[in-house]
Amino acid sequence: MRNTDRDLEKLRFLLRQRIAESGRTQTEIQHQCGWSGEALRQMLDGRMSLRIEAVLTLLNVLGVDPGRFFAQLFGAGNALNPDRPVEGAPGSEEVN
């Protein structure tokens, strides 16, 4: 059974990572998504629910392939090396 809280935190972590890799600010990306206020910051902080439509919009603006993104999120870990977990992501520590 999946741990939903851990999955959501990992999703937020990966989104923040992709935003950082884009070289754009959260404000720039938020405007490109068509969102107002602090919607993006609140989604990434967990103060606002993450809806799949919002995640897909964000991935589109970032130029990230949703299939690869979700494979990394829910798959074995790193899309380039499926046997390696996403470093630094919540829940990436090995459980014995």
pLDDT value at residue 92 = 53
Whether the predicted pLDDT of 89 surpasses 90: no
Q: Is residue 82 part of a domain?
A: no
**Mean pLDDT within 77-84:** 46
- Asked if the structure places residue 83 within a domain, the reply is no
- How far is residue 52's CA from residue 15's CA, in Å, rounded to a whole number? 13
Could you tell me if 73 and 6 are in contact, meaning their C-beta atoms sit under 8 angstroms apart?
no
For residue 70, what are the domain limits? 4-74
Number of domains the chain is built from: 1
- 90 part of a folded domain: no
Mean pLDDT confidence for 25-31: 94
**Dihedrals φ, ψ of 81, to 5°?**
-140, 90
Quick check: is 40 in a domain?
yes
pLDDT value of residue 82: 44
Output the pLDDT for position 38: 92
Give the separation between CA 16 and CA 42, rounded to whole angstroms. 12
Ramachandran category for residue 47: left, alpha or beta (phi over 0 → left; psi -120 to 50 → alpha): alpha
CATH of the domain at 31: 1.10.260.40
In this prediction, residue 88 carries a pLDDT of: 57
> Predicted confidence band at 84 (pLDDT cuts at 50, 70, 90)?
very low
Of residues 40, 47, 38, the one with CA closest to residue 22: 40
pTM to 2 decimals? 0.75
